Structure 1
């Protein structure tokens, strides 16, 4: 059966799964830095693109298969297969996008996603009707489920490690391999058996029926939707320039409303039009050799769907590096900041903040617990949603001194 597949449609199905995974994971990556209302929209959009990618890949693969000439599709099982897919994908993304996902939660999400993809496949397969019946090799069912769960876990692990660039592309490729690998493994273990000689037990049933031509039209429209979403996702969003935001936060630029005339082709300047800066302390005490010494930033810029907001430095619990940007935790959630981890360390008050790891900064006044873990340590920070931050071995002694533990021990 597998040998008779159309190789061009097989290749198209894999590409569609990867493009749907890239767009869906890309939208999910923005969940942590979004406001509560927009989080729901992003979660729904991510789940929709991933589910459409899975479902479309499945039925492109079905169109590539050498089906019996009288085969048609029952509409109800076909629709139910998509709903199953959308539900499990949404739940999986929700589990891995809130807070700091534990290993148990990551494994559970991967199992749920893999089982959901397998369920979608077999529900959709049994939507076929015609003068035949289907037989499945049980070993191939188990093997296809293992492929789906294993590659789904790898994709989610890569996705959580980094939310952009090559890591996002790798997670999309792993997702595409998970879906397509599961589908074609299951198809390899499936056989069409003519109804003659089987007591007339054919794959027939009542209900609305769609032909292969109708399904091909629907799949073509969904392929266009996935490609359009992928191309739109590649369009960069205009962001305020980092040096302008830092200057406002440090009082180097006026705090009145700024109106910057956009230049042709410069979307970043246009995004700064009518930007309102927060009140800041403009005093710059002199440092060594009469040079001005930067005043610690009282606020840090964070990105939202409606523009750039500012968060008080006193409300910050921790800062985590995320590629060229950072994720700021305010005790309740993480929000994206345009500054790098080094820029944030230079701008914050060193009396209240300490870089405890190459990728983490913590607010000393908010540390509620410290304990050894492996070669390093972890600290817990207070807030409505307390969270743990790793401490490198080289920074443990300094952190304990800052917390007053070494003096007490002495």
Structure 2
């Protein structure tokens, strides 16, 4: 077995890369649910490249800091595959989060996929080492996987349970720690032995050539981080930051006559309340689910609940209002429930919390 150590500066740099990539990817998707399908796909793809590329870059920045007593190389093909695996798996998680109803099961599933993506990327990347072979057993892999999955689920849950700037920052820290912790837990459980034969599938990369590729990747991540960071700390468009004042408890809001407002291509339109199946909170704003459409509404969830109470809308969950007339079926669980919808393409079901269960059941005649 070979003795090894790490360059402290590169260890710190690897954590910084993971944090910058995490912030950029998580903030880039902020508000993506309000975009039309094509633009949302583009944003998700871009975020997947940044987050997956950040996982890959963090790994190889840390590997550049790995100090072994022998010269070793990397197989270029396997190194490329490790990057693509990370991007694809993170992309799959983001597709679930932005194209499926965002339930707790979806959030946990996306977190598990991200955690497994970090693990797979790490061990595929390690498999690309030439003239030096990593040695580990199944227990080592299970421990590293558990650390990665738990921290990744925490990161996705924090960042997506409530899409505020505070949650995105906390999710960034959790994501960065997930990537960083998994790498060094796995590396700490790995031994290295010298081998005589390179046995690579592609051309060999030495540390100098690899450093050039990693530097370009980190440069792009830093650039994207600066661009998103300016939007995060600076003034944002009115639709993204302006909070509508909550109505005073002692007075009702002014009645609305035109319908429920929603934004499309820079214009405000109005929807008939009876056509709306459900409303979901999106930060300080809401999303309307109406047939095949998913529309951005400038009302907060509290304002929507107050204004639409005469129309029969009920709060089913802290993040959802439902129109009982559109509920096609209901499922009772142990201490909560689920409302299901037919003909609402963007939303198939809405969770019902325990505290809201009696009102929903009463409205459905159960």
Instruction: Give the TM interval when normalised to the shorter protein.
Output: 0.7 to 0.9
**Partner residue of 1:40?**
41
Map of 1:38-187 to 2, 5 A cutoff? 38-101=39-102, 105-130=106-131, 132-187=132-187
Q: Distance in 2 between matches of 1:224 and 1:241?
A: 28
Q: Distance in 2 between matches of 1:359 and 1:332?
A: 20
- In 2, are the aligned partners of 1:376 and 1:396 still within 8 Å (CA)? no
Kindly indicate whether residue 355 of structure 2 is the aligned counterpart of residue 396 of structure 1: no
Q: Which stretch has the larger CA shift, 186-195 or 362-371?
A: 362-371
Q: CA 1:330–1:81 in 2, change beyond 3 Å: closer, same or farther?
A: same
Map of 1:246-257 to 2, 5 A cutoff? none
- In 2, are the aligned partners of 1:74 and 1:127 still within 8 Å (CA)? yes
Query: Which consecutive residues of structure 2, in runs of 5 or more, have no partner in the other structure?
Result: 246-251
Q: Which secondary structure does the structure 2 equivalent of 1:350 belong to? A: helix
Deviation at 1:90, TM superposition (A): 1.0
Q: CA 1:84–1:309 in 2, change beyond 3 Å: closer, same or farther?
A: farther
**Partner residue of 2:225?**
230
Kindly indicate whether residue 266 of structure 2 is the aligned counterpart of residue 307 of structure 1: yes
Q: Distance in 1 between matches of 2:267 and 2:294?
A: 15
Q: Distance in 1 between matches of 2:170 and 2:288?
A: 25
- TM-score of the pair, normalised by structure 1: 0.75
Q: Deviations over 1:90-117 (max 9, x none)?
A: 1122123223245555444334333322
Q: Distance in 2 between matches of 1:330 and 1:12?
A: 47
Kindly indicate whether residue 215 of structure 2 is the aligned counterpart of residue 220 of structure 1: yes
Residue from 309, 323, 334 that aligns with 1:363 = 323
- In 2, are the aligned partners of 1:321 and 1:340 still within 8 Å (CA)? yes
Q: Deviations over 1:331-372 (max 9, x none)?
A: 446444332122223444723434455543222432333454
Q: Which secondary structure does the structure 2 equivalent of 1:163 belong to? A: coil
- Structure number with greater CO (CA < 8 Å, separation at least 6) is 2
Q: Distance in 1 between matches of 2:26 and 2:329?
A: 34
- In 2, are the aligned partners of 1:326 and 1:336 still within 8 Å (CA)? yes
Q: Deviations over 1:58-101 (max 9, x none)?
A: 01110111134522222111111111111111112212322324
- In 2, are the aligned partners of 1:30 and 1:42 still within 8 Å (CA)? no
Q: Distance in 2 between matches of 1:194 and 1:376?
A: 58
- In 2, are the aligned partners of 1:85 and 1:116 still within 8 Å (CA)? yes
Deviation at 1:212, TM superposition (A): 1.4
- In 1, are the aligned partners of 2:3 and 2:68 still within 8 Å (CA)? no
Q: Distance in 1 between matches of 2:304 and 2:85?
A: 43
Aligned residues: 352
- TM-score of the pair, normalised by structure 2: 0.83
Q: CA 1:374–1:205 in 2, change beyond 3 Å: closer, same or farther?
A: closer
- In 2, are the aligned partners of 1:356 and 1:392 still within 8 Å (CA)? no
Q: Which stretch has the larger CA shift, 373-382 or 146-155?
A: 373-382
Q: Distance in 2 between matches of 1:333 and 1:145?
A: 39
Q: Give the root-mean-square deviation of aligned CA atoms.
A: 3.3
Q: CA 1:292–1:387 in 2, change beyond 3 Å: closer, same or farther?
A: closer
Kindly indicate whether residue 305 of structure 2 is the aligned counterpart of residue 345 of structure 1: yes
